[in-house]
Amino acid sequence: MNRARTALLTAVSLLSLGAVAGCSASTGPTPAPSATSHTVAGDAEAILASRGLSGKSPQEVVEALDQDPTARPLPLMASVRYDEVTLDDGTTQATLPLDGDEFYISVAPYESRTHDCYFHSLGTCQGELTNTDVHVTVVSEDGETLVDEDATTYANGFVGFWVPKDVSGTVTVTKDGKTGEVAFSSDKEGATCITTLQLV
């Protein structure tokens, strides 16, 4: 009986950690960590300092982690939301506020394989097309072009952009004559991780 209870508590603990660290298909907010979790609330600055990110703005932290050329998973887990970044170094969890009027969307275009994701995990998400030249266009519903540029996907297969909060529209990616388009929304319920854009 004790062994079964221990196994159950371990599973719950791992699930709660995964809610912070992994690519999440959930459309709602991540639940608070379970009381059985081995992590504790801590200071975001201390976590960032231990990873050489001290003094960077929250936006710079997001960009540095997303563009990190190291193979996933990274030692520091971080998940991007509407107004914060959740951090987890394996022993301590913290949140880093994302102030301002910009929303981060990270897009992993694909040709044959992808994964479910909702809130982009900077430390674990891995897309199919790494270091690949693409052209990205982001257009709002009212026709305003928010992004129109050539880019190269990062080592994690994603490419990220800051767009205004509380708008919706479409993201279009082209590569070698192939094109894909998906809708996006940058409101409080919007996905920061786009993995449904298939190039055909």
Q: Where are the alpha helices (DSSP H) in the chain?
A: 2-21, 44-50, 58-66
**Mean of the per-residue pLDDT values of the chain:** 85
Positive/negative CA dihedral, 75, 80, 81, 83: positive
Q: What 3-state DSSP class applies to 85?
A: strand
Residues 6+ positions from 44 with CB-CB distance below 8 Å: 87, 94, 95, 96
10 Å Cβ neighbour count for 84?
A: 16
Is the CATH number 1.10.150.170 carried by domain 102-194?
no
Q: Are 169 and 141 in contact (CB under 8 A)?
A: yes
pLDDT over 80 (residue 72)? yes
pLDDT single digits (tens) 131-167: 999 999 999 999 999 999 999 999 999 999 999 999 9
Distance CA 114, CA 120 (A): 14
Q: So what's the pLDDT on residue 40?
A: 58
What is the domain partition of the chain in residue ranges?
A: 102-194
pLDDT single digits (tens) 20-48: 434 643 334 333 333 333 455 689 999 99
pLDDT over 90 (residue 199)? yes
pLDDT single digits (tens) 93-133: 999 999 999 999 999 999 999 999 999 999 999 999 999 99
